[in-house]
Chain A
Amino acid sequence: MELLSTRNLNFTYPNSSEQALTDINFTVHEGDFVVICGPSGSGKSTLIRLMKQELNLHGTRSGEIYYQETPLEEHNPITLAKDIGMVFQDPENQIVMSNVMDELLFGMENLGFSTNEMRKKTAEIVHYFGFNHLLQQDTSELSGGEKQQINLASVLLLDPKILILDEPTAQLDPIAAKDFMYLLKQLNDELGITIIIVEHRLNELFSLANQIVMLEQGRIKFSQNPRKALSLLAENMTTYLPEASQLYLTFTSSPEISDIPSNVKEAKHWLNGLDITSNQTQQEEQVKPEKPLLELKEIDFSYSKHTKPVLNNLSLTVQDSEWLAILGGNGTGKSTLLKIIAGLLTAQHGKIRYKGKKVKQMNRKFIGYLPQNPKLYFLHETLKDEYDALAEKHGKSETEVQTLVKEFQLEALIDRHPYDLSGGELQRAALVGILIGNPQILLLDEPTKGMDPAFKEEFASIIQTVKHTGVTIIMVTHDVEFAAKHVTRCSMLFQGEVIVTEDTNAFFKDNDYYTTMINRITKDSHVPAVVTVEEAKMSWQMKKVLPSSV
């Protein structure tokens, strides 16, 4: 049955000359799992927000949105609020109440449920999600993944027929994100709830979805089943594909649509039929001279006397002008370590050497820090004011600032308010500000959170330029694929301790779970193990195609 559809939908924001959406026609059937993808600014969020009437998007709309074959406007607003549920991107900002139980009840109270109904429904959902232990907690104490689950549950309590999700996992770490996706799959399979989700990370979604809609500049590029979508993406938008498919496409001259693998299992199957050797008989041994810039030794840190130490006997050496990634799960002390390196916290025990000299605390002057949320970086009304203030502080001339601004392509934006910039522009703008201070170390705190694949590449090249000016980069991240592609060395943090620091390649090749999809495909197989598609491109040599084992 047709549940939701749009006919000739156009939308323009006020004071904007361009249409945000043009001629959108698509249909969602009952029980569908629809993924909407596309680059930032392609109108994905606008589209799903239009489907949720309560959000009351300002602008001019033409064309119709039908819910159960009746235009949205003709429905009872209360029915719509119940039937079409929505979960947003930021787990924190969606939460209204300070207590988990109240948060779950919030929607039901709005729609006038009776106490008995509420009691019964909450009991059911708490059981289904298994979060009995969270019920009495304050919402501010939950992890990002838990918060997003509460948000989902609070919407589900209203019995929605359609669940619309706007990049719900963009702010979550990969494990929580995967859990959340499988939860959606479960809701779709077991309860038959129709799901419309906007996402950048398509890796898992290819096997979950049954319809993929690609938007580009406000138009639907295609709306297809995953198999078909895979082949269409293969033609010119390979960055959106799972790495498994990318690998296949790199080594297949005439790809067959039905053969494109989308997960590890399918890719392994494909590799079975191939004979590949490594053409690098000898690894180019690049023995770089060891030049430690920063050494941490036996660092202990705890936030208060009675709590468990966050960092425990931690030792770490950072080489001059490298790009080091610090990986590790939630709560392993990554942010705390970053704060110690930044000189914001002082370790209770241990030694820090900077350029061979012993220091008690790092000098903040040498360090630039790009926060997870670059908005917090700006104090002034326009970028120009901000840069002028910084230049004055650090004794930089106007021309020096000008060159930086040019290098980062910000000339056109210099008189804008920082909050009017897009996410990518904001990050670049903050970087310019940091570079005015001439840092020797640049700290990045989960910089790729919520970035679309195309922008990740751009960001990496920006950081590479910064690195080439001799700045050492230390990055805390969850993004395994990004780290594998770009950084020089990786450290793994576990229970407040650095358990291993290795060159990126060696690091990921050893790992079984905490590694890239490509490595999981090639590890322990008859082909040379690689970590990224790029590495495969460089080192693999296709000998001949074995007779297919199928």
Chain B
Amino acid sequence: MLRGFRSFHPLVLLLYYIAVIAGLMLNQHPIFLTAAFLSIIFVNLILDKGIELNKWKYMIIFLDLFVFVFTPVFNQQGNIVLFELFSRAFYLEAVIQGAMIALTLSGILALFTTFNIVMTPDKFLYLFSKFFPKWALILMLALRFMPLFRKRLADIQDVQEMKGVSMKDGKLRDKAQNGMLFLQILLTYSLEEAMQTADSMSARGYGLQKRSQYKAYRWKSRDWSMLILLFFLSLSTLIGWQSNKTILTLTPELESILLQGYSWFYLLGWFLLISLPIWTEGKEVIKWNFYQREI
């Protein structure tokens, strides 16, 4: 995808996620949270038709139910008693609290599924290497060694199994012992081989001077506009939270759930913030349909 939400600079994308997660935790109000959850589902749909979210749906539903049912059981604060069960009061405030926690959790989880789609490992690594270049290099070397180790261990297992030394059958003690032996060869062997890797690194001038970094992602003018937009929308959320307009007061007295006055304004700001991917992706979808019609 060369346009759309995913094409923004990884730093902008990261800031978006930080802002939305912070907002989800700050705006503890059923309407704000419901709006957030619904928009995030829509973001999922527009990014990959909900394929990634689908993998997580049972997890999300289960977690929601769990929180929604158990919060009122343990939370004994409130004024309005809904009903009593096994000589335990169930308060309306606690039920609302449970719903809000469940919505926050599912919002964050659903957001993370989009994070997987948008922040691909290379973007993540790019950001990481910007702040910790040395660690990022080590991380990349480690990533390279994973498949190598796996392949070598499989080779060792095959060869040794032909010799009758196996990790699969026999007594547990023998299996464990053989497994340790295999790991031992894997390490000795890999150390030997790593000498060659080291040679190849120094042959290409590793360690002679400070490394430069290939910037795979260019900062474009629309990254600036997006950044400014993000800034103002986050600011509005922050102010709303500061002035208590985006929070439902539960104690000492339950406030009306309905929104009043400025809260509507903050809700709009909040909704615009979350749905940034919808506008940017949606624009592409519309454009695409338009071009197709032209043809």
Contact = CB atoms under 8 A, between A and B. Distances in A.
10 contacts: A54-B208, A96-B144, A96-B197, A106-B201, A110-B208, A112-B212, A115-B215, A371-B155, A376-B152, A379-B165
Nearest to A375: B189
Please classify how large the interface on chain B is, using the bins under 10, 10 to 19, 20 to 34, 35 or more.
Answer: 35 or more
Given A95-B144, A96-B141, A110-B206, A88 B211 contact: no
A54 B209 contact: no
Interface string A338-360: 01001010000000000000000
Interface in B118-165: 122, 140-141, 143-144, 146-148, 151-152, 155-156, 158-165
Contact of A86 (B159, B188, B203, B210): B203
Interface string B69-109: 00000000000000000000000000000000000000000
Contacts of A342: 158, 162
B208 A81 contact: yes
B190 to A, nearest CB: 10
A154 B184 CA distance: 33
B58 interface: no
B214 A115 contact: yes
Given A154-B204, A344-B162, A379-B160, A111 B209 contact: yes
B170 interface: no
Contacts of A85: 203-204
B196 interface: yes
Contacts of A54: 202-203, 205, 208
B144 A97 contact: yes
Contact of B155 (A77, A94, A373): A373
Nearest to B203: A86
Interface stretch (A13-21, A287-295, A362-370, A468-476): A362-370
Query: Which 8 A-B pairs rank lowest in CB-CB distance, beginning with the nearest?
Result: A81-B205, A107-B204, A94-B200, A93-B196, A140-B147, A369-B162, A98-B143, A98-B144
A154 B189 CA distance: 26
B154 to A, nearest CB: 10
A383 to B, nearest CB: 14
Nearest to A122: B214
Interface of B: 122, 140-141, 143-144, 146-148, 151-152, 155-156, 158-165, 181, 184-185, 188-189, 192-194, 196-197, 199-215
A110 B162 contact: no
B144 A109 contact: no
Nearest to B184: A379
A385 B164 CA distance: 16
Contact of B158 (A56, A93, A344): A344
A102 B197 contact: no
Nearest to B143: A98
Given A375-B189, A378-B185, A78 B209 contact: yes
Contact of A437 (B140, B152, B164): B164
Nearest to A90: B196
Contacts of B140: 97-98, 102
Which of A109, A119, A364, A373 has most chain B Cβ within 10 Å?
Answer: A109
A191 interface: no
A158 B205 CA distance: 10
A86 B188 CA distance: 26
A105 B155 contact: no
Contacts of A344: 158, 161-162
A379 B155 contact: no
Query: What's the dominant secondary structure at chain B's contact region?
Result: helix
Contacts of A99: 122
Contacts of B197: 93-96
A99 B156 CA distance: 25
A376 B189 contact: yes
A104 B182 CA distance: 33
Interface string A182-221: 0000000000000000000000000000000000000000
Nearest to A93: B196
Contacts of B201: 96, 106, 110
B159 to A, nearest CB: 5
B202 A55 contact: yes
A82 B205 contact: yes
Contacts of B207: 110
A103 to B, nearest CB: 9
A144 to B, nearest CB: 13
B202 to A, nearest CB: 4
A377 B159 contact: yes
Nearest to B188: A419
Nearest to B145: A98
Contacts of A271: none
Interface string A536-548: 0000000000000
A109 B212 contact: yes
Nearest to B207: A110
A77 B204 CA distance: 11
B214 A140 contact: no
Contacts of A114: 212
A51 to B, nearest CB: 11
Which of A113, A369, A376, A433 has most chain B Cβ within 10 Å?
Answer: A376
A377 B165 CA distance: 11
Given A97-B140, A106-B204, A369-B159, A376 B196 contact: no
B208 A78 contact: yes
Contacts of A113: 212
